[in-house]
Copies of this chain bind each other. A is one copy, B any other.
Amino acid sequence: MKKPAYKIAMLGAGNVAWHLAPALEEAGHEIICVYSRNLENAEALAQNLKTARATDFTDFTDFPADLYIIAVKDSVLPELLREAVFPAGSLVAHTSGTQPLSVFETNKNIQGAVFYPLQTFSKNTPVSFRNIPFCLETAHKNAMVLLQKTAESLSEKVYQVNSEDRKILHLAAVFACNFTNHLFGISAEILQQNQLHFEMLQPLVEQTVQKAFAQNPFSVQTGPAIRHDENTIQTQLQFLQNNPGYQQIYELLTRSIQQKS
């Protein structure tokens, strides 16, 4: 299958754009320009690319593209959409997990879309797009075909997900990633306060993740809560007595595990 090769404009030069733009070029597409409010950022990213030109203005009528990708912070998106001018009928997609498709409603002469890679990006951490799920949404049939071909040129996991389902994915990610990370923080703090290394837990945590995704996580639950090991539960609560906040989290999650079993 011949790779589709599109002309793509990248609006944004932050963490997402930093990884997405080179990956798109690698997949055969042409990044015709990189926009950022901060011209320096746009130039830094454009320099990493073969084909891109940096801009700090938002009138794209002289930059006709098959696809405009907006990879900016949620808080900046509405403002950018108010300012930006696109050639009539352009396909414009944002990369946000939380912004609905309706955010494009005020831009009458474009085809709004979502091109959301379900991953967290940091500039210094290399990322392979092959396994990253792409969640696509648009009301326009031809636009969806183009989005799909673009996403499939990067990843093996391409889904159509509407705005309502994207909200649910986001909520699920808050539990599985944001809250989980906080528990890692508590765990690391408890160890550090006792001159022990959080790294000691890494193999166990990684195995916990593998098991959870291989089966239903509830069905592979282990630990004192599910064993109703009251002795250990009381000893551990006692140990946390100087931190009522952590005690409360311990009690609530222990109770929740026991209710599920």
Contacts of A98 in B (CB 8 A): 232
* A105 vs chain B, min Cβ distance (A): 18
A181 neighbours in B (Cβ, 8 Å): 208, 211-212, 217, 220-222
Question: 8 Å CB contacts to B: which residues of A207-244?
Answer: 207-213, 216-218, 220-226, 232, 235-236, 239-240
Q: Are B239 and A184 in contact (CB under 8 A)?
A: no
Q: Taking the full assembly, how many copies of this chain does it contain?
A: 2
**Within the complex, what minimum Cβ distance (angstroms) separates A212 from chain B?**
4
Chain B proximity mask over A175-217: 1 for CB below 8 Å, otherwise 0? 1111111111111111100101011111111111111110011
Q: Is the CB of A236 within 8 A of B187?
A: no
Contacts of A202 in B (CB 8 A): 213
User: Are B211 and A178 within 8 A (Cβ)?
Assistant: no
For the complex of A and B, the 10 pairs showing the least CB-CB separation, nearest first, are: A178-B223, A176-B187, A185-B217, A184-B217, A185-B218, A175-B187, A184-B212, A172-B187, A177-B208, A179-B253
Chain A interface residues (CB < 8 Å from chain B): 98, 118-120, 122, 125, 131-133, 157, 159, 161, 165, 167-191, 194, 196, 198-213, 216-218, 220-226, 232, 235-236, 239-240, 245-246, 248-250, 252-253, 256-257, 259-260
